[in-house]
Amino acid sequence: MATNVNAEALKELPVPEHHAAGKQTVDPYNVSGEVGEDGVVKAIDYSKLVEEFGTKKIDQALLERFECVTGKKPHRFLRRGIVFSHRDFELILDRYERGEPFFLYTGRGPSSDSVHVGHTIPFEFTKWLQDTFDVPLVIMLTDDEKYLFSEKRTIEEVQGYCSSNAKDIIAIGFDPAKTFIFSDFEFVGGAFYRNIVRLSKHITLNQARAIFGFNDSTNIGRIHFGSIQGATSWASSFPHIFGTDEKKTAAIPALIPCAIDQDPYFRMTRDVSARIHYAKPSLIHAKFLDALQGPGTKMSASIDESAIFMKDTPNQIKNKINKYAFSGGKVSVEEHREKGGDTSVDVSFQYLRFFLEDDDELERIRVAYEKGELLTGELKAICIKELQTYVAAFQERRAKVEDKVVDLFMERRPLQWVGNPNAARVVPVVDGAAEGAADGKEGGDGKLTKNQLKKLEKQKMIDAKKAQKAKEKEEQATKAA
Ligand code: TRP
């Protein structure tokens, strides 16, 4: 058996034009590794990005702090450096520890109906953060962005993708009581629009050019779009969740899990936040899942052979991995047995790092492949099984998401969350989350709505429970002493 047939894998993905320069490009609109002298795309150099963007690497000390504050083992993405960089994540941990409010914010550009496994990575991680922190989550569908940044797509087309994309996102397993999904075309207005304009007033054309590389021929919708993606980082954009008292909401930061290419939007937002005394969003950045063709490329929704899609059948998954997945194995079995394979470029192994939960098992596979004990065909078989399981589980959940579930997630309504149940003192968030706020009315007659009363009752119960817990803890502590 030949262990390494990369013939199909090596058929290059189209190299974008800006690659003429050969440099690594990572921004919201282009992602690809440096092109070497030989014309081959290199793996993305993430350390260089950390340096260029001025973010911080997630180190062991931060992971220990995370575990100490949450009592939870870090997610495999964190353990394996897949979620690898951050801005001010430690401040969010401090807030969580003190019982102070924050929220999660992430998003997706609805550019097609074809969601692939790469798209699910930031959402999987976001779901885990929501389960861990028990905080509100807003998910933005940037239909406007996908219209503005494409020559061909119509408004009707991108709006049409919103509902199916929302279903895909919901199928990851988000809690409807804590999650608000919105499309820009539907939601812009009221408090959100005020924040968009507030943000745009503080960005000059020069800055936008420097951050995003726009030029004189860029349409002005694209130039302005950053203020829409940015304004979602501010809690005051969501009065139905956080209330209408801007003195309070201005102090509630977002934690934004995203792929590293989205950082420029939020670098800009953090800068403006500081100037207008709003809480700066914190960020936590993920790496990309390589395309089947190998390091330096990213799965593309429009190239079927580049990705495993969430609609693929078990057989399609098997065939794609066998046929296209770039292999780090040697050309002949004999040579592979003797010299071993290279897991750092092997796509099947890289996918296992993303999807295989068991650390020991992953380590066994790595060692066996590098020693040449495990052949490429065998490694691919393990990867195929893991991906088939992941995709099948998703499809099962996805089949159950009906239109009315989408409506529920996208309805403007108050959310319910607890935050850190062990914090000494929980700072209440909502006291002005009036129903009227959702309609753009700001309440203000001093009377509580039915919904507010319900929330108040709930909060009282939660507070009482917490007080009880704290008392019990104290009693136990005195007993133990
Ligand atoms: N611009 C992103 C995309 O094209 C969508 C998005 C909006 C987003 N807000 C976000 C992604 C916040 C991550 C975090 O897919």
pLDDT in tens, the chain (481 residues): 444 446 444 443 333 344 446 889 899 988 888 988 888 888 899 999 999 999 999 999 999 999 999 999 999 999 999 999 999 999 999 999 999 999 999 999 999 998 999 999 999 999 999 999 999 999 999 999 999 999 999 999 999 999 999 999 999 999 999 999 999 999 999 999 999 999 999 999 999 999 999 999 999 999 999 999 999 999 999 999 999 999 999 999 999 999 999 999 999 999 999 999 999 999 999 999 999 999 878 888 889 999 999 999 999 999 999 999 999 999 999 999 999 999 999 999 999 999 999 999 999 999 999 999 999 999 999 999 999 999 999 999 999 999 999 999 999 999 999 999 998 767 777 755 544 333 433 333 334 455 555 655 666 566 667 666 766 766 666 555 5
- Asked if residue 260 has its Cβ within 6 Å of ligand 1, the reply is no
Taking Cα atoms as reference points, which of 286, 290, 257 lies closest to residue 117?
A: 290
Distance (angstroms) between ligand 1 centre and the Cα of 260 equals: 11
pLDDT of residue 155: 97
The answer to whether 270 touches 281, Cβ cutoff 8 Å, is: yes
The answer to whether 330 touches 4, Cβ cutoff 8 Å, is: yes
- Asked if residue 111 has its Cβ within 6 Å of ligand 1, the reply is no
> If you take atom 7 of ligand 1, which residue's CA is the nearest one?
107
- Asked if residue 109 has its Cβ within 6 Å of ligand 1, the reply is yes
- Give the angle 400-404-407 at the CA atoms, nearest 5°: 120
Distance (angstroms) between ligand 1 centre and the Cα of 109 equals: 6
Distance (angstroms) between ligand 1 centre and the Cα of 24 equals: 21
What are the phi and psi torsion angles at 136 (to 5°)? -65, 150
What are the phi and psi torsion angles at 38 (to 5°)? -80, 5
Distance (angstroms) between ligand 1 centre and the Cα of 259 equals: 9
Distance (angstroms) between ligand 1 centre and the Cα of 139 equals: 9
pLDDT of residue 18: 41
Distance (angstroms) between ligand 1 centre and the Cα of 315 equals: 31
pLDDT of residue 16: 37
Q: Which is the closest atom of ligand 1 to the Cα of 146?
A: 4
- Asked if residue 108 has its Cβ within 6 Å of ligand 1, the reply is yes
- Asked if residue 140 has its Cβ within 6 Å of ligand 1, the reply is yes
pLDDT of residue 99: 96
pLDDT of residue 289: 93
Q: How far apart, in whole angstroms, are the C-alpha atoms of residue 165 and residue 110? A: 6
The answer to whether 148 touches 221, Cβ cutoff 8 Å, is: yes
Distance (angstroms) between ligand 1 centre and the Cα of 210 equals: 20
pLDDT of residue 296: 79
- Asked if residue 229 has its Cβ within 6 Å of ligand 1, the reply is yes
Mutating to test ligand 1, I would choose from 126, 140, 185 the residue with most ligand atoms within 8 A of its C-beta, which is 140
Taking Cα atoms as reference points, which of 408, 459, 419, 420 lies closest to residue 180?
A: 408
408: tokens are: 């529920």
> If you take atom 3 of ligand 1, which residue's CA is the nearest one?
109
Q: How far apart, in whole angstroms, are the C-alpha atoms of residue 218 and residue 224? A: 11
Q: How far apart, in whole angstroms, are the C-alpha atoms of residue 229 and residue 265? A: 7
Distance (angstroms) between ligand 1 centre and the Cα of 306 equals: 21
What is this structure's pTM? 0.86
272: tokens are: 């403006």
- Asked if residue 387 has its Cβ within 6 Å of ligand 1, the reply is no
Distance (angstroms) between ligand 1 centre and the Cα of 142 equals: 7
Distance (angstroms) between ligand 1 centre and the Cα of 137 equals: 14
Q: Which is the closest atom of ligand 1 to the Cα of 122?
A: 13
Largest CA distance in the chain: 81
Distance (angstroms) between ligand 1 centre and the Cα of 227 equals: 13
pLDDT of residue 19: 40
160: tokens are: 């049409």
Q: How far apart, in whole angstroms, are the C-alpha atoms of residue 30 and residue 155? A: 22
Distance (angstroms) between ligand 1 centre and the Cα of 357 equals: 26
- Asked if residue 262 has its Cβ within 6 Å of ligand 1, the reply is yes
- Asked if residue 269 has its Cβ within 6 Å of ligand 1, the reply is no
pLDDT of residue 164: 96
- Asked if residue 126 has its Cβ within 6 Å of ligand 1, the reply is no
- Asked if residue 145 has its Cβ within 6 Å of ligand 1, the reply is yes
The sign of the CA dihedral 311, 317, 323, 325 is: positive
How far does CA 407 lie from the centroid of its chain?
22
Cα dist from 49 to 56, 88, 356, 442, whole Å: 10, 17, 26, 43
